[in-house]
Amino acid sequence: MGQATSKLVEQLTSYRAHYAQDQSSLQGVTTHILRALNDSVGLIAIMHPRGQITRADGSQIIRASVWIEQEIAIAAFLNQVLDRGLKVKAYIHESIGRDGLRDQLLLNPTIFSEDREVIDDLRIVLGQWASDLPITSKVRTLAEDIADLISSGREIIVSPTVPAASSSKRAYVVAKADDRVAQLREVHSGLQVDVPLSRIEIVWRGEHEEPEFKLQGRLQWLTLRRAWKFFSEHPESQDEADFGFGKRVNASSSEVTDICRELQSRGYQMARFTPSQMRSRAKYGWEVIYDADGQYFEMERVDKRILAGIRWGGNLDSAETATVPSTV
């Protein structure tokens, strides 16, 4: 129901919905609910039965969510004390009893028995809200969105990343930001990378999906440094999306032999693959080798072989048809 309501808000208005799911800690209330309410222009409270309680006098009543009750009380404070003009629409299931502060607030709730009744009514309500709310209040800045992501610790995905195979496996959080740069931290490894704010576009995909940072540029893996770095070049072709940007080199050049020796000392097996071979070898643990400039090594040959490596313990048999560099 919450997801359906969020989608409806984003379909019928130009606002982004915040689906406040049940929180189990004070930090959750502070970070998610209070901050979201403070930044909001409207609250939709849909109250379903959450169990039966017995009062001190022995009478019983069906209660609603405690968290939603608190959100309604906060919204009332924002409106009645701070005069915020927050729009509030409450829906209460017919089985829920009147109780607590909600019973004292003038919410003019709509009573419902089936969820479809709420959705049907919301289409009308949201249409009215969309015409009533000032356009200027609908604009959120990138800095505000970044601040929300920092405070919530919400995971994000980033695109494009090179090599592309890693992008679907890596989640990031925004660790911190200033007026120029956002620092992202890769969740699994803890590796950090700085990205200019001017190169970030945030794509919101709903409360249950990670927001996406679409970069005007790319996050590039640097093999020797074992680190990510932002580069301004953006992949356009499929080869660039898969492998990034290459530089033509001679297989016997010191540039190639030096990096091969260094990686071998770290436990790598080295090889050279054609682009089509590289795509099939990646699933066995082979990785394209990237220099400090963010480029891979492309051999000066007609078949444009790519320098690749695999750590000991990987599937070395997959290299049997590859041409091994002279340094191995």
pLDDT in tens, 100-125: 555 555 567 889 999 999 999 999 99
Angle at 199 between CA 197 and CA 204, to 5 degrees: 80
Contacts of 291 (CB under 8 A, 6+ apart): 222, 223, 224, 247, 255, 259, 297
Q: Which residue in 263, 237, 254 sits closest to 328, CA to CA?
A: 263
Q: Looking at the predicted structure, is the pLDDT value of residue 155 above 80?
A: yes
DSSP secondary-structure letter at 290? B
pLDDT in tens, 210-228: 899 999 999 999 999 999 9
254-257: long-range contacts, CB 8 A cutoff, minimum separation 24: 255/291, 255/297, 256/297, 256/307, 256/325, 256/327, 257/325, 257/326, 257/327
Phi/psi of residue 77, nearest 5 degrees: -65, -45
Q: Is the pTM of this model over 0.75?
A: no
What are the structural domain ranges in the chain? 2-138, 142-221, 239-319
User: Is 278:297 a contact under the CB 8 Å cutoff?
Assistant: no
21 confidence band (pLDDT: 50, 70, 90):
low
Higher-pLDDT residue of 63, 192: 192
Q: Looking at the predicted structure, is the pLDDT value of residue 243 above 60?
A: yes
Mean pLDDT of 264-271: 95
Residues in the chain: 328
Q: Looking at the predicted structure, is the pLDDT value of residue 320 above 60?
A: no
207 confidence band (pLDDT: 50, 70, 90):
low
pLDDT of residue 73: 79
What is the number of alpha carbons within 13 Å of residue 307 lying toward its C-beta? 32
Which of 85-99, 150-164, 253-267 is the least confident region? 85-99
Q: Which residue in 237, 248, 256, 264 sits closest to 300, CA to CA?
A: 248
